[in-house]
Amino acid sequence: MAAITYKNASCIYEGSDKLAVDNLNLDIQDGEFVVLVGPSGSGKSTALRMLAGLEDIDEGSIEIGGKDMTGVPSKDRDIAMVFQNYALYPNKTVAENMGFALKLRGVSAEERRKKVEEAAKVLDLTEHLDRKPAKLSGGQRQRVAMGRAIVREPQVFCMDEPLSNLDAKLRVQTRTQIAALQRRLGTTTVYVTHDQVEAMTMGDRVAVLRFGKLQQFASPNELYDRPANAFVAGFIGSPAMNLFTASVTSDGVKLGDSTFELERDDLAKISQAGLSEVTVGVRPEQLEVAESGGVEVVVDLVEDLGAEAYVYAHAGSGSDGVELVARCNPRTAPRLADTVRLRRHPEGAVHLFHPTSGERLN
């Protein structure tokens, strides 16, 4: 086990002057489960591959256990990689699949068996050790692939979208197992996904990347409650946070014919920044359908999920129109084309961002 440090680490795309990873700084604690998340092209996989030794570190450095890994071949980094495309030997049993890398390293048959049995126990594969991969479910096969990594007892696990080949139900189930397994093993893990729900449910901390740059590195709660910028605010959370840029008035921002009221402290911060427009963020659960106050909207869709419902509506029209989503009780939800009012919960948080840079203001 080991801590990992990215120090101003950059990677340049071949044949391009653009940085795939731009000046990345991360301090990952020993035993921590860190998820790198971001949309396609964000540099998350490149950042992981730099750690694994598959991409060059063009500038800066990456340390594992305090040792600079620049120029160190991946096989000498004491890491194990688990990819989405795991290739098991179809003709070998689960035990043989898990133990072959050890045989290659000259580990004795007895020692191999011991390590394989230990790993199988942790992975809940003991009763499948004599079976061949074709007889296993997708999730079990994924666990065998992890078993091949575990038996080597690496310092670090690098996982690049290991669940993306599984169907949705299995993905949910397997992600819980991987997270629990990592906690039991205590091995420092860096995990890449494009799925923010996967990131939020698995990671001790999550690094959000965009265009090769780190946007925020924080715990899932911190990312959700205090996103550092408008991109993180919109990327984390499902349904996404309501984000709209509007003109500032004396007591809030203008939304259609109504005013979306803001706290006095927030108005002061907008004023301090000298802004006449501001980007406002409100999570759907922080809005409620009300008789009075708030903003007048027309309902476009109601998504009834049983325990809760989401109201998709719009305020204003044309270029001034803003789409909003609010969570409500499905039993009292408005109907399609109703005109209702949406207002902020008394305790609800409002996030303010700079309209051009997207940086958090409050």
Q: Where do contacts with another protein occur on this chain (CB under 8 A)?
A: 14-15, 49, 52-56, 73-75, 83, 85, 87-92, 100-101, 103-104, 106, 131-135, 165
- C-beta closer to another protein: residue 151 or 262: 151
- Extract long-range pairs of 288-291: CB within 8 Å, 24+ residues apart: 288/326, 288/328, 288/342, 288/343, 288/344, 288/345, 289/326, 289/328, 289/332, 289/333, 289/334, 289/340, 289/341, 289/342, 290/340, 290/341, 290/342, 290/343, 291/341
CB of 128 or CB of 343, closer to another protein? 128
Which of residues 165 and 201 has its CB atom nearest to another protein in the complex? Answer: 165
CB of 305 to another protein, least distance (A): 25
CB of 117 to another protein, least distance (A): 20
Q: Which is nearer to another protein, 22 or 55 (CB)?
A: 55
* Least gap, CB of 167 to another protein (angstroms): 9
**Residue 152 carries which DSSP code?**
T
Do residues 282 and 323 lie in contact, with contact meaning Cβ atoms separated by under 8 Å?
A: no
Note whether 330 and 309 are within 8 A (CB).
yes
Q: Which is nearer to another protein, 92 or 254 (CB)?
A: 92
The CB-of-263 to another protein minimum distance in angstroms stands at 47
Tell me whether residue 142 or residue 215 sits nearer to another protein (CB atom).
Answer: 142
Tokens linked to 28: 């990952």
Least Cβ distance, residue 96 to another protein (angstroms): 9
State which amino acid sits at residue 288: E
79 contacts: CB under 8 Å, gap ≥ 6: 51, 52, 53, 64, 154, 155, 156, 157, 158
Asked whether 235 and 193 are in contact (CB, 8 A), the reply is: no
Q: Which of 269, 253, 235 is nearest to 320 (CA)?
A: 253
3-class secondary-structure state, position 267: helix
346 CB burial (10 A radius; 0-12, 13-18, 19+): exposed
CB of 92 to another protein, least distance (A): 7
C-beta closer to another protein: residue 79 or 267: 79
Q: CB of residue 63 vs another protein: minimum separation in angstroms?
A: 16
